[in-house]
Structure 1
Amino acid sequence: MKRIGVLTSGGDAPGMNAAVRAVVRKAIYHDVEVYGVYGGYSGLMNGNIEKLELGSVGDIIHRGGTMLLSARCEEFKTKEGQLKGIEQLKLAGIEGLVVIGGDGSYRGAKALTELGFPCVGVPGTIDNDIPGTQYTIGFDTALNTVIEAVDKIRDTAQSHERAFVIEVMGRNAGDLALWSGLAGGAETILIPEDNYDMNDICQRLIKSQERGKKHSIIIVAEGVASGVEFGKQIKERTDFDTRVSILGHIQRGGSPTAFDRVLASRLGARAVELLLKGKGGRAVGMKNNQVIDNDIADILGEAHTVDMNLLTLSKELSI
């Protein structure tokens, strides 16, 4: 394999640029040409493909977002759209493709591989919801962004003796809420993977107030409920002075942490190694600090899980 491509797809995540850099430089180190696909699968179908040199990825390891841009593309979910993408890749002489993104991006990579074009998936999403890896690129940075916000909100919650409901991202996965809630000392954490009892939550808040605590932090994953609606219920049932903060897309941006930069570099490099060995239809990941790879079809067939021991621990520590 003498020419490979790389694209980023779906929601952007801090560390994607570090992964692109690793793909480009690892490939060039092995005398392989690299072409960047701009605009995700949509850009692929439109032939937005350019050759990348060593200098193309200079000074991007510390930048958030993705230099290759990203987009969601409904047309690429069809076989016609996928064949159109393969045609563009072949016109550019590209023999293999590294796809950096989440589960939707993986589905595209799987489809291309099944149509005879080898792809390797690299997990890039702040949601940390890709099976086959303990961590996804961008999760650690987003987590630290949330924790920083929680710390600041706690200051004003304490000053005004308020209960604050903080809604965080994560789609249908609770990792971001769970980890940030535990690290930020939240009194209550709500995640999609666990049921909750509103009466129990309110009673815990009342009990905390009775022992002298005048402020509370409640972390709600967006996959559970609207932070605004949840805040209204807390107010109605407890009469606490309640405020709501929806952190939104601030969680996606920012310079990636050292952890995400190293993770992205290791995973991006392994993706190139797999393609050079002629292996397509694989997904790279991290387990016990070792880089691994799995069949991408197996990854897509697994359900995402969270460590429920962390939720139990958070409840024990927030009494």
Structure 2
Amino acid sequence: MKRIGVLTSGGDAPGMNAAVRAVVRKAIYHGLEAYGIYQGYQGLITGNIQQMEAGSVGDIIHRGGTILRSARCPEFQSAEGQKKGLEQLEKYEIDGLVVIGGDGSYRGAKAITELGYPCVGVPGTIDNDIPGTEFTIGFDTALNTVIDAVDKIRDTASSHERNFIVEVMGRNAGDLALWAGLAGGAETIVIPEDPIDMESIKVRLLKGLERGKKHSIIIVAEGVMSGNEFAEKVKELTGIETRVSVLGHMQRGGSPTAVDRMLASRLGARAVELLLAGKGGRAVGIERNELVDYDIIEALSLPHKLDLDIYRLSKELSI
């Protein structure tokens, strides 16, 4: 192992830069050359690859987004596209690859692994939906962004005695909605992992009105439906008008929290250690604050698990 490549793929997540920094500097510390692959798998196919020095990743640990940039690449889903990518890795004599990203990025890493090339996945997504790790890089920062927005929306909801629906990201996972809902004191949380029960939501809202409640916050995960669709359903059932706030892509941006910087640094460095030990085809994660790694092919077959105890607690505390 003399040269290690690193790329970021899929939706950007705060902390990706910290992970890139860790991979590059850990590699250099151990006497390896580090190569940055720009624009994800698209850049891998086209050969948008540059050697990186320690200074190349200076002053980026606090920055959101990714200096390596990201791009969608349908071509890499084909055998021909994967072959082109592998040819570029061979051309630059890169002996191992670190892929930082979410579910789609892992599928690309899986394809490379199945071609016999040493590859390690690092979970970078605000959705927190990667199996084999309790937390993904970017989740904590996005969570704090959502909570900050909910706190501000609550001020207006209270002042005007209105009900607000806040739509948050997360794809098909409800982690961001659930954690933000509990931490932000939301009265109702709607997530994909629990079948939507509009009658129960109706009863909860009407009971709140009966006891003199003047406002409420409802967090809706985008994987269930849009905030506007949900607002229409609420109005049809209860006659209650709501205001809708769609937080959108602001959840992906911003300076990463200390938690995400620490996680990214630890996972990025661990990925390099695995490649140095000759362990390709792995993915890294964190469980009970301990670093773990697992077979990346097997991992993608596992279901994402949401902590339903937190969901039950949110209902108990929002009576």
**If the TM-score is normalised by the length of the shorter chain, which range does it land in?**
over 0.9
SS at 2:202 equivalent: helix
Q: Could you say which residue in structure 1 is the equivalent of 2:19?
A: 19
Shift of residue 113, structure 1, vs aligned partner: 1.4
In the alignment of these two chains, the number of paired residues is 319
Q: Could you say which residue in structure 2 is the equivalent of 1:107?
A: 107
Q: Could you say which residue in structure 2 is the equivalent of 1:153?
A: 153
Q: Could you say which residue in structure 2 is the equivalent of 1:71?
A: 71
Q: Measure, in 2, the Cα distance between the counterparts of 1:286 and 1:177.
A: 21
Percent identical among aligned pairs is 75
SS at 1:7 equivalent: strand
Q: Measure, in 1, the Cα distance between the counterparts of 2:150 and 2:239.
A: 22
Q: How does 1:210-249 map to 2 (within 5 A)?
A: 210-249=210-249
The answer as to whether partners of 1:98 and 1:119 remain within 8 angstroms in 2 is yes
2:45 counterpart of 1:45 = yes
Structure 2 portions without partners, runs of 5+: none
2:309 counterpart of 1:309 = yes
The answer as to whether partners of 1:5 and 1:35 remain within 8 angstroms in 2 is yes
Q: Could you say which residue in structure 2 is the equivalent of 1:97?
A: 97
Shift of residue 210, structure 1, vs aligned partner: 1.1
Shift of residue 212, structure 1, vs aligned partner: 1.2
Q: How does 1:1-319 map to 2 (within 5 A)?
A: 1-319=1-319
Shift of residue 202, structure 1, vs aligned partner: 1.3
SS at 2:208 equivalent: helix
SS at 2:112 equivalent: helix
Output the amino acid matched with 2:108. Answer: G
Shift of residue 92, structure 1, vs aligned partner: 0.7
Output the amino acid matched with 2:18. Answer: A
SS at 1:249 equivalent: helix
SS at 1:151 equivalent: helix
Q: Measure, in 1, the Cα distance between the counterparts of 2:171 and 2:22.
A: 28
The answer as to whether partners of 1:162 and 1:240 remain within 8 angstroms in 2 is no
The answer as to whether partners of 2:231 and 2:241 remain within 8 angstroms in 1 is no
Moved more, 103-112 or 268-277: 103-112
Shift of residue 117, structure 1, vs aligned partner: 1.2
Q: Give RMSD over aligned pairs.
A: 0.7
Output the amino acid matched with 2:118. Answer: P
Q: Measure, in 2, the Cα distance between the counterparts of 1:237 and 1:161.
A: 19
Q: Measure, in 1, the Cα distance between the counterparts of 2:284 and 2:67.
A: 21
Moved over 6 A (4+): none
SS at 2:286 equivalent: strand
Output the amino acid matched with 1:33. Answer: E
Output the amino acid matched with 1:227. Answer: G
Moved more, 236-245 or 282-291: 236-245
Deviation string, structure 1 residues 7-64 (Cα, Å, up to 9, x no partner): 0000000000000000000000000000000000001000000000000000000000
The answer as to whether partners of 2:99 and 2:121 remain within 8 angstroms in 1 is yes
Shift of residue 235, structure 1, vs aligned partner: 2.2
Q: Measure, in 2, the Cα distance between the counterparts of 1:201 and 1:138.
A: 30
Q: Measure, in 2, the Cα distance between the counterparts of 1:267 and 1:84.
A: 28
Structure 1 portions without partners, runs of 5+: none
Output the amino acid matched with 2:237. Answer: R
Q: Measure, in 1, the Cα distance between the counterparts of 2:233 and 2:102.
A: 33
The answer as to whether partners of 1:161 and 1:241 remain within 8 angstroms in 2 is no
Moved more, 230-239 or 288-297: 230-239
Q: Measure, in 1, the Cα distance between the counterparts of 2:279 and 2:126.
A: 27
Shift of residue 239, structure 1, vs aligned partner: 2.5
Output the amino acid matched with 1:225. Answer: M
Deviation string, structure 1 residues 73-100 (Cα, Å, up to 9, x no partner): 1110111101100101111110100000
Deviation string, structure 1 residues 259-279 (Cα, Å, up to 9, x no partner): 000000000000000011111
Output the amino acid matched with 1:119. Answer: C
SS at 1:186 equivalent: coil
Shift of residue 240, structure 1, vs aligned partner: 2.4
The answer as to whether partners of 1:7 and 1:100 remain within 8 angstroms in 2 is yes
Shift of residue 229, structure 1, vs aligned partner: 1.1
Q: Measure, in 2, the Cα distance between the counterparts of 1:236 and 1:110.
A: 46
